[in-house]
Amino acid sequence: MTRRTSFFALPLGLIALGLVSVPAALAQSGAVASAMTAGTVGEQADGYLGLAGSVGADVRSEVEAINIKRRAAYTDLAAKRGVTVADVAAATGCQTLANRVKAGQVYRIGTGAWQTKGAAPIALPSYCATAN
């Protein structure tokens, strides 16, 4: 019930603020999700999305936009906790790799090659320790 409420409340809130139109918002997030399913966009251990293959201009610009917003969110939290933005980003990267990347999707740790997640959990960087 709460999930349904927030699902509708978010786009409606954004429309009310005049920030974005519904079709654009749905199309964009859908495009990135599709690219993630296709393996051309993936999560990175550094806490940001990366391009693993060739993508259209719409996907590229949306990935960039998401990363800018992520950095803003990381910066806020870093200031609150008195840590670096990179630390917050790395902690979030641990979470996305541990809990959000689905089997068949791609991910990257450091500057390594893109890898496809299999059935097993991703071998996380040591600094993630007990990311659950």
Partner 1 sequence: MTQYHANRREDRRKRFLARRAGGLALSLGMLPLLGGCITVKAPDKPIEINLNVKVQQEVVVRLQKDAQDLIKNNPELFPQ
| Chain contacts with partner 1 (rule: CB under 8 A) | 10, 25, 29, 32-33, 36, 66, 69-70, 73-74, 77, 81, 83, 87-88, 90-92, 94-96, 99-100, 102, 126-132
- CB of residue 46 to partner 1, shortest distance in Å: 12
What span, in angstroms and rounded, lies between the C-alpha atoms of 20 and 43? 25
For residue 38, with 0-12 CB atoms within 10 Å meaning exposed, 13-18 middle and 19 or more buried, which class applies? middle
Tokens representing 122? 């991703």
Residue placing its CB nearer to partner 1 in the complex, 2 or 54: 2
Q: Name beta bridge partners: 43.
A: 49, 107
Residue closer to partner 1 (CB basis): 36 or 109: 36
> Shortest distance, CB of residue 104 to partner 1, whole angstroms?
12
* Shortest spacing between CB 9 and partner 1, in angstroms: 12
- Which tokens is 47 given? 């806490």
